Structure 1
Amino acid sequence: MTFQVEVCIDNLESLHYAMAGGADRIELCSSLALGGLTPSFGFMQQASRVSKIPVYAMIRPRQGDFLYSEEEIESMLLDIDAAAQAGLQGVVFGTLTAMGDIDMTHAKRLAERAHQHNLGITFHRAIDQCRDFAQAIELIAELGCERILTSGLAPNAEQGIAVLKQMVELANGRFAIMAGAGVTPDNAQTIATTTGVTQLHLSGKTTRASGMKLIAEQAKMGNQDLDDFIVPVTATATIAQVVTALKSLS
C-alpha cells in the first residue's frame, strides 16, 4: 500500500522544510492560524517555481463559516484562475448551505472552473460541519474531486477514527479520504491502519525566533496575544517521522 503525506504551509520557508521532510504534496495557504485562507498570487507563483512536488492552493476568501455570498464565489473563481495562471496543480475548496448541506450550486461552479484549467480538486474540511456526512460524500462524488480532507467530524483525526473508517467505505475507491487535523508521528500509523486512509495531512508546525536585531515589542501588528518576533514554520523532522512511520506500513 502506498501512502501520501500532504503538508499545509503558509510561508515559503516552510515549503523547503516540507519537501526536505519527504512531503508528497503541498496545500498552500495564508493564515494557517485561521484554518488556512487563499494565498496571494505572488506566493502561488513563487511556490510553483520552487516546488518539486504538486501544490494545491486553498481557495477560502475569509475566516469563519463556509456559507458564501455571490460576491465571494466570484472572488473564489478568480482565485482558481490565479492558481492555474501561477502554474499550480490543484485547488482546495468547500461550500455549505445554511442548513449544513453541500452547496452544490456554488460547488459545481468552482469545480467546473477548476476542471477547465485541468486542476485537481480537494474538497476540504467543510464536510466536518455537514449535518449528514454520508449524503455529503455522495454529492462531492458528483464534483469530480480527487479527495476529501476531513478529521472525521471530530476535533482531530485520531478522535474521528470511527467516522473516517466509514468515510473510506462510503468513498469505495472513487476518491481518497485524507485524514487531517492533529496528525503526528505518534498517531499516524494508528490512524492509517484503523481507518484505511492512504493519505494524511498535517502542518508539522514549530516556530523559530525572528532574525530581527531590534525587537520592537511595543507595537503589535495584529492580535495582542501573538508574538510578532516568533515565526511559525514547518518542522522537517516531524514530516520525516510521519513519512517514515507510513513507509513502514507499505
Structure 2
Amino acid sequence: MTIQLEVCIDNLESLHYAEQGGATRIELCSSLALGGLTPSAGFMQAAAKYATVPVYAMIRPRQGDFLFSSDDVEIMLADIYAAKQARLQGVVVGVLTPQSLVDSDILASLVKQAQGMGVTFHRAIDQCVEPIAALDAIIAAGCERILTSGLQANAYDGISMINRMHQYCGERLKIMAGAGVNSHNVREIIARTGINEVHLSGKTTRPSQMITVAKQAHMGSADIDDFEIPITGVENIAAVVAQLKL
C-alpha cells in the first residue's frame, strides 16, 4: 500500500526540506504556530514554481474559530482564486456553524470556486459535535479528503475514531491523520486505522544568520525568539518515510 505523506510548511526554505525528506504532497500555509493561515499570493506562486509534488494551499483568513463572516468568506473566495491562478493543485478549507456543524452553504461556495482543484476539509471537523453527519456533509460538498486527529488532541489518541471514519467513508472520502504524527507512531496509526494518508510538519528550528543582533525590540510576543527560524526538519520527514518503507 502506497502511503501519502503530506507535510505542512510556512516558508519556501521548508518546501525544499520537505521534498528532500520524502513528502508526497505539501500543505502550504502561513503562521503554522497559529494552526496555519492562508499563504500569500507570492508564496503560492513560488511554491508552484519550485515544487515537484502537489501543493494545496490553506484557506483560512484569520486565527481563531471556524465561524466565518461574509467578509471572511469574500476573502476566502479571493484566496482560492489566487491559488488557482498560481496553478496549485488544491486548497484546504473548513467552515462551521455556531452549533459546531459543517456550514454546508459556505462550503459549497468554496468548493465551487475551487472547481478543477482538489479540496481537503481540515481539522475543523475535530470540533464538530456530530462527526459522522459532518462526513456526510463534506462528501456531499465534493471534498476529496479530510484531515483529522479523530476529535482528540493528537492522531494517536484518536485512532479509534479515525478508524471509524475510514470504515464509514470507504472510497467516498479519504481520511488523512494529522496532529502529533511522527516516526515513533506512524506505523501503528496506519495499521490500526487502515488509512493511507498522514500529515505532519516535522518541525525544527535553525538559528538566524544575522551577524548583528538587536534583541531589545521584539517583532511580536516577547515569548518568541525573533532569531530562531522554524523550518521543516529533513531528518524528521525522512525518519517517517523510513518507517513507512518497513
SS of the residue aligned with 1:5?
Answer: strand
Q: Deviations over 1:8-31 (max 9, x none)?
A: 000000000000001000000000
Contact 1:179/1:199 (8 A) holds in 2: yes
Match of 1:11 in 2: 11
| Equivalent position amino acid for 2:59 in 1 | I
Q: Distance in 2 between matches of 1:108 and 1:144?
A: 8
| Equivalent position amino acid for 1:62 in 2 | R
| Equivalent position amino acid for 1:96 in 2 | L
Q: Which of 207, 219, 240 is the aligned partner of 2:238?
A: 240
| Equivalent position amino acid for 2:224 in 1 | L
Deviates more, 1:204-213 or 1:239-248: 239-248
Deviation of 1:177 after TM superposition, in Å, equals 0.2
Match of 1:67 in 2: 67
Q: Distance in 1 between matches of 2:245 and 2:172?
A: 23
SS of the residue aligned with 1:149?
Answer: strand
Deviation of 1:87 after TM superposition, in Å, equals 1.2
Match of 1:83 in 2: 83
Match of 2:95 in 1: 95
Q: Deviations over 1:198-223 (max 9, x none)?
A: 00000000000000001111000011
Match of 1:130 in 2: 128
Q: Distance in 1 between matches of 2:236 and 2:97?
A: 36
Match of 1:169 in 2: 167
Q: Residues 1-250 of structure 1: matches in 2 within 5 Å?
A: 1-115=1-115, 118-248=116-246
| Equivalent position amino acid for 2:48 in 1 | S
| Equivalent position amino acid for 2:204 in 1 | T
Deviation of 1:243 after TM superposition, in Å, equals 1.3
Q: Distance in 2 between matches of 1:71 and 1:62?
A: 11
Q: Deviations over 1:72-128 (max 9, x none)?
A: 10110000000010110000000000001000010000011101xx11000000000
Deviation of 1:241 after TM superposition, in Å, equals 1.2
TM-score by length of 1: 0.97
Contact 1:3/1:247 (8 A) holds in 2: no
Q: Distance in 2 between matches of 1:144 and 1:236?
A: 34
Deviation of 1:197 after TM superposition, in Å, equals 1.2
Q: Distance in 2 between matches of 1:112 and 1:243?
A: 34
Deviation of 1:247 after TM superposition, in Å, equals 2.2
Structure 1 portions without partners, runs of 5+: none
| Overall identity of the aligned pairs, in % | 57
